[in-house]
Amino acid sequence: MKAVILAGGLGTRISEETDVKPKPMVEIGGMPILWHIMKCYSHYGIDEFVICLGYKGYVIKEFFVNYFMHRANITIDLGNNTVQTLNTTSEPWKVTLIDTGNETMTGGRIKRIKPYIGDEPFMLTYGDGVSDINIADLLKFHKENGRLCTVTTVQPTGRFGAVTLGPNNGVASFAEKPKGDGLWISAGFFVCQPQVFDYIEGDMTVWEREPMERLAREGQMSAYRYEGFWKPMDTLKDKKDLNEMWNNGLAKWKIWE
């Protein structure tokens, strides 16, 4: 099974970083968030990836083209212009990098990688969010429900402390940044049957609009309710928070050894 990762957007809300690199290449603990997402899938035996490139996609290409060398110890003999690899910690990944266009919408990007997926189910997620989700459990849930698409849903943490008022101007309870108001939102980490390609018209199709809405109307979308850790990297504060978690040994998404 392959994992498809959407990595072509502009990342305008973190433009201080994305002026020079695509958002999935913003680093957590010295490695791109894209790498962290791939490590999570790889932990569950998914080592084939199709990455949808767009904005500054060449940065991602250069990262993987030179990945083996960057992760290895090497001896360079300048006299005879040779490089000897001493050892490496490279993962057993097969990575297909597809330019899906700078202006293409999310659905269009998915449609463009259809030739590289074939007639098999595939994983799909965004290149800017990490989670400790159990991919094996997600896949089992998808198979048991028998629908064309499964979306992982979460309840995001609220932005503010919540106060429950009591009598006589008292405070009955207080919770710092509780879960949202009962709504579940899409966290990515989809499982898709190949038939979902038929729900996407072309480059300007937004995956989260007509395709997902139509799948839901037709009863072809399941919701995998996940109450564990999930965090997107939308802002510089998110990046700071994720790096602090990593540096302090609190990165819940680090499920690999």
CA 106, CA 204: separation in Å to the nearest integer?
A: 8
pLDDT tens-digit readout, 55-97: 999 999 999 999 988 888 889 999 999 988 887 778 999 999 9
The pLDDT score that the predictor gives to residue 71 is 83
CA 127, CA 32: separation in Å to the nearest integer?
A: 10
Which is nearest to 128 in space by CA: 217, 1, 231? Answer: 231
The stretches in the chain having pLDDT less than 70 are 158-166, 168-182
The pLDDT score that the predictor gives to residue 189 is 98
The CA–CA distances, whole Å, from 70 to 48, 62, 256 equal 20, 11, 20
The pLDDT score that the predictor gives to residue 158 is 67
- Are β-strands 221-225 and 149-154 bridged in parallel, bridged antiparallel, or unpaired? parallel
The CA–CA distances, whole Å, from 12 to 18, 169, 182, 188 equal 7, 43, 28, 19
Instruction: Find out whether 2 and 95 touch, Cβ atoms under 8 Å.
Output: no
Q: What is the Cα 13 distance to its own chain's centre?
A: 17
Q: Which residues contact 54 (CB under 8 A, 6 or more apart)?
A: 7, 8, 9, 22, 99, 100, 101, 102, 103, 104, 109
What is 2-154+182-247's CATH superfamily? Answer: Spore Coat Polysaccharide Biosynthesis Protein SpsA; Chain A (3.90.550.10)
The pLDDT score that the predictor gives to residue 152 is 97
